């Protein structure tokens, strides 16, 4: 709603009821401010006699007289989800047009509340409760009741003030009596404290005497304990010396016995070492002898194999030369050779060569067998002479 600064504004003074003249508290919420604004705006519309019903106005007047904060009777403001809903209940003056007055109230209240909102649309519902005419100037029953309640409230206030004064006077009297009683109690307390001090002195003296007697008894007991302790220490020292002497004698005997056992063990160990050395020497000589024999046998076998091989070689050479001599004249004459013709002489030489080869092979096999046998003999003797688990040589 735009405000025209050049427009003429008519200011109308409105007599506000007491409930609208009371200042709002500092923590008043936006809905309370909106309700007060709507009420003041509605009362300023010509033709509006008052807001709300007689009962609502009477209750608000009683709250004001009792010193409680008054609201805005006849106006209700609800903050809906999307709008601010305002409901105004009015009483129209006679002979105003009810519809015109209601429309004016709706427009002006809507414009006033919209200026306070946070941009939400404002809806105003105007309810006309009654029409006030000349015949309604006489005080109604509710007004008379309201005045009576106000008078009763005033008398109640005065009675409360008088009762408070009486209570203060009674409280002063009670305080005076309490002060006197406290002083008497303090005097009795001091007297009791003096008697307690005297009794404490007597108790201290008795305690000192008892303490001296107990000190003498404690000294006697201490002397007795010292003597008993000295006797116990002497006895313990004597027993300790005897035990040390016995322990030394036992340790000496044990040392001598251990020395004898060690000497005997050393002699036995030396004997075992000498026997092991002798057995090892005998075994080594025997193994050496057997190995020499096996090696000689292997050498003989190898020599025989070599001789057989030499004989076979000589035979092969002789046969080769003879075959070469036979073949040479035939080669020059162009005649067929014995090899080509398969003559008996050639077949005999071939047979002799085969026999010589077989002899050489047999001789080599025999030599290999003898060498292997000699190696087995040497291996068995060496294994038989290995030391067993008890440290001796196996026989």
Across 10-32, average pLDDT: 72
Listed range (102-116, 236-250, 329-343, 353-367) with the worst mean pLDDT: 329-343
Which pLDDT tens digit goes with each residue over 311-357?
Answer: 766 766 676 666 666 655 444 444 444 444 455 555 666 676 677 66
Number of other residues whose CB lies within 10 A of the CB of residue 16: 13
Q: What SS3 state is found at 92?
A: strand
CB 95 within 8 A of CB 131: no
pLDDT at 244 > cutoff 80:
no
Specify the residue for token string 């919209």: 114
Q: How does the average pLDDT of the chain come out, rounded? A: 75
Q: What SS3 state is found at 329?
A: helix
Name the CATH architecture for the domain at 18-138. 2-Layer Sandwich (3.30)
Q: Return the structure tokens found at 90.
A: 């009015």
pLDDT at 98 > cutoff 90:
yes
CA distance 125 to 106: 7
The residue among 296, 291, 312, 295 whose CA lies nearest residue 361 is: 312
Which pLDDT tens digit goes with each residue over 198-228?
Answer: 877 887 787 777 777 777 887 887 788 788 7
Confidence grade of residue 393 (pLDDT, cut at 50, 70, 90): very low
Q: What number of CA atoms fall less than 13 Å from residue 380's CA on the CB side?
A: 8
User: What local confidence, expressed as pLDDT, does residue 331 receive?
Assistant: 43
Cα dihedral sign, 380-385-391-395: positive
What backbone phi and psi angles, to 5 degrees, belong to 265? -65, -35
CA distance 64 to 150: 10
Give the chain's end-to-end CA distance (angstroms, integer). Answer: 136
Which pLDDT tens digit goes with each residue over 351-375?
Answer: 766 776 677 677 777 777 777 787 7
Prediction pTM value: 0.35
């Amino acid at each position: 709603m735009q405000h025209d600064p050049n427009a003429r504004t008519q200011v109308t003074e409105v007599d506000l009821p007491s409930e609208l003249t009371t200042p709002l508290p500092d923590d008043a919420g936006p809905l309370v401010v909106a309700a007060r604004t709507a009420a003041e705006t509605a009362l300023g519309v010509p033709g509006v006699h008052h807001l709300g019903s007689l009962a609502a106005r009477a209750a608000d007047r009683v709250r004001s007289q009792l010193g409680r904060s008054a609201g805005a009777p006849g106006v209700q403001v609800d903050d809906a989800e999307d709008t601010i809903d305002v409901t105004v209940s009015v009483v129209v003056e006679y002979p105003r047009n009810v519809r015109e007055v209601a429309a004016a109230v709706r427009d002006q209240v809507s414009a006033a509340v919209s200026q306070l909102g946070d941009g939400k649309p404002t809806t105003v519902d105007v309810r006309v409760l009654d029409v006030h005419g000349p015949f309604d100037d006489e005080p109604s029953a509710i007004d008379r009741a309201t005045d009576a309640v106000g008078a009763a409230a005033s008398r109640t206030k005065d009675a409360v003030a008088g009762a408070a004064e009486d209570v203060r006077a009674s409280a002063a009297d009670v305080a005076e009596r309490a002060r006197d009683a406290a002083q008497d109690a303090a005097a009795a307390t001091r007297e009791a404290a003096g008697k307690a001090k005297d009794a404490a002195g007597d108790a201290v003296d008795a305690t000192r005497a008892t303490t001296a007697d107990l000190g003498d008894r404690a000294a006697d007991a201490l002397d007795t304990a010292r003597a008993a302790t000295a006797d116990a220490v002497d006895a313990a020292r004597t027993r300790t010396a005897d035990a040390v002497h016995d322990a030394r004698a036992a340790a000496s005997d044990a040392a001598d016995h251990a020395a004898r056992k060690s000497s005997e063990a050393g002699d036995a160990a030396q004997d075992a070492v000498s026997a092991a050395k002798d057995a090892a020497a005998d075994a080594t000589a025997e193994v050496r002898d057997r190995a020499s024999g096996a090696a000689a046998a292997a050498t003989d076998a190898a020599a025989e194999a070599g001789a057989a091989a030499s004989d076979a070689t000589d035979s092969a050479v002789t046969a080769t030369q003879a075959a070469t001599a036979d073949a040479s004249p035939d080669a020059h004459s162009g005649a067929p050779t014995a090899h080509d013709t398969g003559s008996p002489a050639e077949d005999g030489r071939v047979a002799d060569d085969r026999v010589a080869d077989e002899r050489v092979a047999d001789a080599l096999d025999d030599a290999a067998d003898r060498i292997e046998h000699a190696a087995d003999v040497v291996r068995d003797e060496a294994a038989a002479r290995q030391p067993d688990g008890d440290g001796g040589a196996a026989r």
